[in-house]
Amino acid sequence: MKVGIIMGSKSDWPTMKNAADMLDNFGITYETQVVSAHRTPQLLADYAGSAAERGIRVIIAGAGGAAHLPGMTAAFTSLPVLGVPVQSKALKGMDSLLSIVQMPKGVAVGTLAIGDAGAANAGLLAAQILATSDDTLMEKIDAFRAKQTEIVLARPDPSVD
């Protein structure tokens, strides 16, 4: 497995599935697991601490509310960690975003947008990171982007279906 997709709760899966779907588009192998910074702190330490030696190259971590999972994951591994703020009920994900994005200098988390788009883009960014050392994967990403461009240019008038 090249990518680890972890999340604070099973309830985060509908959001985080967007990251998995994006990786599927590119044929990238990944593992998925619930790992909670608060409910299973030792599992988080074990997971992040062993990820590199297990062959993981990028970790995508999604959490909502007091979302400490991406930051704590980054504390336990030097692998790139992409943080996805899951949209919370009470504060619509602003709590998740601010919990993830304001990392102190010296421990990096790449923070994506709140919710489904952020999760999908985390998958895309993970693919782009892996593609820096995989020309075939880079070609697939170039093709994905070219197709998006074609779709927009083929129907430039928004009032026409």
Q: Which residues are annotated as a binding site?
A: 9, 12, 39
Query: Site mask, ligand RP5, residues 28-47, x = CB under 6 A?
Result: --------x-----------
Least Å distance between CB 66 and ligand RP5? 7
Pick the binder of ligand RP5 from 64, 70, 115, 118 (CB under 6 A): 64
* Ordered strands of the 110-111 beta sheet: 30-34, 3-7, 58-64, 81-86, 110-111
Nearer to ligand RP5, 56 or 72 (CB): 72
The radius of gyration of the chain from alpha carbons, rounded to an integer in Å, stands at 16
Question: Residues in contact with ligand RP5, total (CB under 6 A)?
Answer: 10
Pair type for strands 81-86 and 58-64:
parallel
Please state the residue numbers annotated as binding site for substrate.
9, 12, 39
- Evaluate whether 74 touches 53 at the Cβ level (below 8 Å): no
Query: Site mask, ligand RP5, residues 68-107, x = CB under 6 A?
Result: ------------------x---------------------
Pick the binder of ligand RP5 from 4, 59, 65, 118 (CB under 6 A): 65
Side-chain half-sphere CA neighbours of 92 within 13 A:
0
Tokens representing residue 135 in the block? 């020309």
- Evaluate whether 30 touches 54 at the Cβ level (below 8 Å): no
Give me the residue label for tokens 């602003």.
94
Distance (Å, whole) CA 95 – CA 87: 9
Across 55-95, the runs of DSSP E, i.e. the strands, are 58-64, 81-86
Pick the binder of ligand RP5 from 3, 12, 84, 122 (CB under 6 A): 12
Mark the segment that binds ligand RP5 (CB under 6 A) among 63-71, 72-80, 111-119, 141-149: 63-71
Contact residues for ligand RP5, defined by CB under 6 A: 7-9, 11-12, 36, 63-65, 86
